[in-house]
Amino acid sequence: MPAASGPGQPGPVLGPGHGGASIADVAERVTPSIVSVSSTTGEAGGESAGRGHGQGLGSGVVIQPGVIVTNNHVIEGADEIKVISYDGREFVAELVGTDPKSDLAVLRIQGDASALRPVAIGDSGRLRLGDIVLAIGNPFGVGHTVTMGIVSAKGRADVGIIDYEDFIQTDAAINPGNSGGALVDMEGKLIGINTAILSRSGGYQGIGFAIPTNMARPIIDSLLRYGKVVRGWLGVSIQDVDPDLARTLGLPRPMGVLISDVGPNTPAAKAGLRRGDVVLTINGQEVDSARQLRNLVATAGASSTVTMEILRRGARESVQVALGQLPESDAGPAWGAGGAAIVEGLMVEPITPANRSRYSIAARVTQGAVVIGVESGSPARAAGVEPGDVVIEINRTPVLDVATFTQLWSRASGRTAVALHRSGKTIRVIVNK
């Protein structure tokens, strides 16, 4: 007999596989686990910037007694954080740790929070396109709100919102204030943290993004344990395998991720990985993009050992790799998990045939360093540097290759003149380092 959504009124019942639970039942069970998060800063900012000086407003999810996960951008720079429960109780929260690269933050309630009900955490890897989901949060500060939609897409990356992206896309209505709230399945389990929308108006236009729980859980665990995220590091330069590259490598179709270079004395080098190897799986999970490989390595964590299936000269091999710890981007040049050199917010690679094709780099450009990533909030991002740009000069000194770029960029300070090749033209920007 279906559960009722009100006295004597049967609610909408889901199909097979959902145990006959109604949408109202799921919402009623999960809503008490969702809170509003209010932050006060010395400067205007936060989720509701522009609506009140120094006030930020978003949402959060109770994942353990007294422990709440939200988005970093909801509480970034906050001097005071308050949490308001579904039934109107107010708590002061302390910041346990944040991870701007994934836009996650963990808070802990000060005082007795035993009445706050933790949500059940689900397996986002089981999601299928078309699955019904609910988004629960506090849009525009109007109060707890439940919206319904479906899983529109999975594995959305290269959106350009944060450094580590593997979003669930949904058409459940998400608006400013929903950030940090819950995306739940029809078993009432948390499968995502609502984070961003794609919109030209600033409001809901049918495309919302949530961080999947399978990506969020190890980050949350690391923040609770260490107060920071300790990511895994492989130490290789990698690239996607497109049809042309697949033919060159003798592959039947585009598959896996190509290792285009291996840094010296890195975990990859110590494990015997070589330039030209194609990574097919990590711990049994197939990989088909450089960003996915980067995320899997980072999520596995430092000091963990992963099993990689690779294709080397047409033969499949299994390799055990003891991962290292991803160097901080501001600690100087390093061979990063996503490839190439990472220096003060910029990730660059050499001008390779693959990069030339991927970014339409003119044949006349034979020197420089190709930008493949720009850290959110960095001076380079503020100056308008974009992935695909080729850095050809820094302060009027030619950039010959990645090594030259690393030296010049690390030494530069203050107003730094940078010449870029972009779409067949040379442009100049000033980066305030």
Catalytically annotated residues: 73, 103, 179
The answer to whether residues 39 and 59 touch, using CB atoms and an 8 Å cutoff, is no
Find the distance separating the first CA and the last CA of the chain, reported in whole Å: 65
Q: Provide the token pair at 225.
A: 């344990």
CA distance 188 to 133: 9
CA 31 to chain centre: 25
Q: How many residues does the chain have?
A: 433
Type and span of the H or E element at 9: strand 9-10
Q: Which residue has the tokens 């089981």?
A: 126
Residues paired with residue 325 on neighbouring β-strands, in sequence order: 232
CA distance 188 to 185: 5
Which of 362, 340, 361 is closest to 409 using CA atoms? 340
CA distance 122 to 126: 9
For 48-106, where are the alpha helices, taking DSSP H only? 72-75
Which of 115, 58, 53, 65 is closest to 83 using CA atoms? 58
Which of 109, 10, 8 is closest to 60 using CA atoms? 109
The answer to whether residues 195 and 210 touch, using CB atoms and an 8 Å cutoff, is yes
CA distance 36 to 183: 15
